[in-house]
């Protein structure tokens, strides 16, 4: 067979000079041989495609595993600077801006939380327990969804524990954590306080579950926490009195934001500000409530609102943080 093919090729060489590759294979070679060659070429092309797809899949899986590993190692912030003697630094209730800043970096308590303690106590408050809590954390990561993981503070026996105290919770406060992540993206989680006295929040937690009422106490088990409160000047700009505003948003959230299906791409499909809300996710839920009262808390204004977007909103002031760098709340 080989010598026969060679002979045909030699005899028709001149004719083949002016032919395309496809014409050459059809006119020079017998049809059966041509078909065999085409099938062989298709087989090799398919094999290359499958090999490339396999390699890319392996690379993607390995990349996700590496990102997940790196993400899990960034579950909390423990100060790399020294603890100072707060008793020596804070000896009077009339604090300076530098002393407020010192307390924030040493305890995670911002001015609003510190002022609350100063108002409630006759003497200079003892900040030592908040400082001790702020300088330590131990957490473990667990799977809470198909692709979603979450960190919680554990004791040495692996039991979930409350790692710190929250000084002051008010209606309308927003809680954020960086503890939730999916496929290497630390997107975090958000909640809205709807009843501070009862310690209740409304949250959209995970895909497959509708939004529901949860407890503030669980936020003390996260290895990172950011507590936000709407600023006085933001309320004044829109003509709100604080008590009337917080009563309005908590009442609205209680009546309208529970039992809504989770939507991964809400904001794109369906629209971000649809009057008839059918789907939501954690940050969108908080954003949606504030948006009903004329407050834009999405700092970048994109179709997707995230806990990071809310953390960077100028509408809010920080009340307290835990497991978060006071100099860089969320970037």
In a domain, 327, yes or no: no
Which of the four pLDDT bands, split at 50, 70 and 90, describes residue 9? low
Whether 296 has a pLDDT exceeding 50, the answer reads yes
Is 48 found in the same domain as 87? no
Under a CB-based contact definition with an 8 Å cutoff, are residues 158 and 110 in contact? Answer: no
Is 135 found in the same domain as 42? no
Is 158 found in the same domain as 266? yes
Buried b (16+ CB within 10 A) or exposed e, 182-208: beeebbbbbbbbbbbeeebbbbbbbbe
In a domain, 265, yes or no: yes
Select the more confidently predicted residue: 218 or 264.
Answer: 218
Is 159 found in the same domain as 103? yes
Is 251 found in the same domain as 309? yes
Beta bridge partners of 185: 182
Whether 53 has a pLDDT exceeding 80, the answer reads no
Under a CB-based contact definition with an 8 Å cutoff, are residues 200 and 191 in contact? Answer: no
In a domain, 75, yes or no: no
Q: What is the mean pLDDT of the chain?
A: 86
Is 195 found in the same domain as 51? no
Whether 153 has a pLDDT exceeding 60, the answer reads yes
Position 7 scores a pLDDT of 47
Beta bridge partners of 196: none
- Give the global pTM: 0.81
Is 137 found in the same domain as 9? no
Q: What is the pLDDT of residues 56-89, one digit of tens each?
A: 666 555 555 555 555 555 678 999 999 999 999 9
Cα–Cα–Cα angle for 21, 23, 26, nearest 5°?
110
Is 90 found in the same domain as 54? no
In a domain, 328, yes or no: no
Buried b (16+ CB within 10 A) or exposed e, 15-49: eeeeeeeeebbeebbeeeebeeeeeeeeeeeeeee
Dist CA 214 CA 261 (whole Å): 16
Least confident segment among 31-45, 134-148, 270-284: 31-45
In a domain, 68, yes or no: no
Q: What whole-number percentage of the chain has pLDDT above 90? A: 65
Reading the block at residue 315, the tokens are: 């509408």
Task: Supply the range of the domain harboring residue 36.
Answer: 2-62
User: Which residue, chain included where needed, has tokens 């990102």?
Assistant: 67
Is 20 found in the same domain as 53? yes
Is 109 found in the same domain as 16? no
In a domain, 297, yes or no: yes
Supply the DSSP symbol for 158.
Answer: S
Position 73 scores a pLDDT of 58
In a domain, 160, yes or no: yes
Q: What is the pLDDT of residues 156-189, one digit of tens each?
A: 888 899 999 999 999 999 999 999 998 888 999 9
How large is the average pLDDT for residues 256-261? 97
Is 88 found in the same domain as 54? no
How many residues are given for the chain?
Answer: 331
Is 288 found in the same domain as 163? yes
Whether 117 has a pLDDT exceeding 50, the answer reads yes
Position 40 scores a pLDDT of 73
**How many domains are there within the chain?**
2
In a domain, 293, yes or no: yes
Select the more confidently predicted residue: 182 or 13.
Answer: 182
Hey, what long-range contacts does 66-74 have (CB within 8 A, 24 or more apart)? Answer: 66/184, 67/183, 67/184, 67/185, 68/149, 68/181, 68/183, 68/184, 70/184, 71/181, 71/184, 71/185, 71/186, 72/141, 72/149, 72/151, 72/181, 74/186
Reading the block at residue 245, the tokens are: 């505003």
Helix count and strand count (H, E) for the chain: 12, 11
Dist CA 10 CA 33 (whole Å): 17
């Amino acid at each position: 067979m080989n010598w026969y093919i060679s002979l045909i090729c030699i005899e028709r060489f001149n004719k083949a000079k002016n032919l395309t590759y496809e014409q050459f294979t059809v006119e020079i070679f017998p049809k059966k041989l041509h078909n065999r060659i085409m099938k062989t070429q298709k087989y090799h092309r398919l094999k290359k495609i499958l090999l490339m797809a396999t390699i890319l899949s392996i690379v993607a899986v390995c990349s996700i595993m590496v990102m997940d590993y790196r993400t899990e190692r960034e579950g909390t912030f423990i100060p790399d600077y020294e603890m100072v003697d707060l008793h020596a630094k804070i000896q009077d209730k009339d604090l300076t801006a530098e002393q407020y800043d010192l307390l924030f970096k040493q305890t995670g308590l911002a001015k609003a939380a510190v002022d609350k303690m100063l108002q409630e106590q006759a003497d200079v408050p003892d900040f030592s327990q908040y400082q001790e809590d702020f300088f330590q954390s131990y957490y473990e990561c667990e799977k809470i969804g198909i692709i979603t993981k979450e960190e919680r503070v554990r004791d040495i026996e692996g039991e979930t524990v409350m790692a710190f105290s929250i000084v002051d919770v008010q209606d309308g406060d927003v809680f954020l954590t960086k503890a939730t992540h999916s496929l290497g993206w630390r997107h975090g989680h958000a909640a809205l306080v709807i009843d501070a006295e009862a310690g209740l929040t409304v949250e959209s937690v995970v895909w497959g579950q509708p939004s529901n009422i949860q407890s503030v106490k669980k936020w003390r088990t996260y290895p990172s926490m950011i507590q936000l409160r709407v600023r006085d000047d933001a309320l004044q700009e829109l003509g709100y009195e604080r008590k009337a505003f917080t009563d309005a948003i908590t009442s609205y959230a209680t009546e309208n934001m529970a039992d809504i299906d989770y939507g991964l791409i809400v904001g794109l499909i369906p629209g971000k500000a649809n009057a008839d809300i059918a789907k939501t996710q954690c940050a969108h839920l908080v954003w949606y409530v504030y948006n009903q009262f004329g407050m834009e808390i999405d700092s970048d204004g994109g179709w997707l609102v995230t806990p990071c977007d809310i953390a960077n909103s100028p509408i809010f002031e920080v009340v307290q943080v835990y497991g978060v760098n006071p100099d860089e709340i969320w970037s």
